[in-house]
Copies of this chain bind each other. A is one copy, B any other.
Amino acid sequence: MPRTKEQFEVMRKGSRQRILDAALEVFAKQRYHSATVGSIAKTAGISKGLMYNYFKSKEDMLNELMIGMMENLMCEFMPLKPDRKFTQDDIVNFINVGIDLVLEKPYYWKLYFSVFVQPDVMAMVYDKMMEAGKPYMEGLTEYFRSKGEANPEFMMRYFAAVMDGIQLHCMLDPKSFPAETVKKLLIRQFV
Which residue of the partner chain B has the closest CB to A111?
B117
The smallest beta-carbon distance between A33 and chain B, in angstroms, is 4
**Dominant secondary structure at the A interface:** helix
Total interface residues on A, using CB and 8 Å? 36
For the complex, is A17 an interface residue (Cβ under 8 Å from B)?
no
Assembly CA distance A49 to B163 (angstroms):
45
A161 and B154 contacting across the interface, CB-CB below 8 Å: no
Whether A42 sits at the interface, judged by CB under 8 Å, is no
Q: Is the CB of A116 within 8 A of B33?
A: no
Which listed segment binds B: A70-78, A81-89, A131-139, A177-185? A177-185
Fill in one digit per residue for A20-49: 1 if any B CB lies within 8 Å of its CB, else 0: 000000000101111000000000000100
Which residues of A, 138-167, contact B by the 8 Å Cβ criterion? 151, 154, 157-158, 160-166
In the complex where A31-B117, A116-B172 touch, is A178 in contact with B154 (Cβ < 8 A)? yes
A50 to B, closest residue via Cβ: B2
Complex CA–CA separation, A170 to B177 (angstroms): 24
The 9 closest A-B pairs by CB, nearest first: A165-B165, A33-B33, A161-B169, A114-B117, A161-B165, A164-B165, A113-B117, A161-B166, A162-B165
Chain A residues engaging chain B, CB cutoff 8 angstroms: 2, 29, 31-34, 47, 110, 113-114, 116-120, 122, 151, 154, 157-158, 160-166, 168-170, 172, 177-178, 181-182, 185
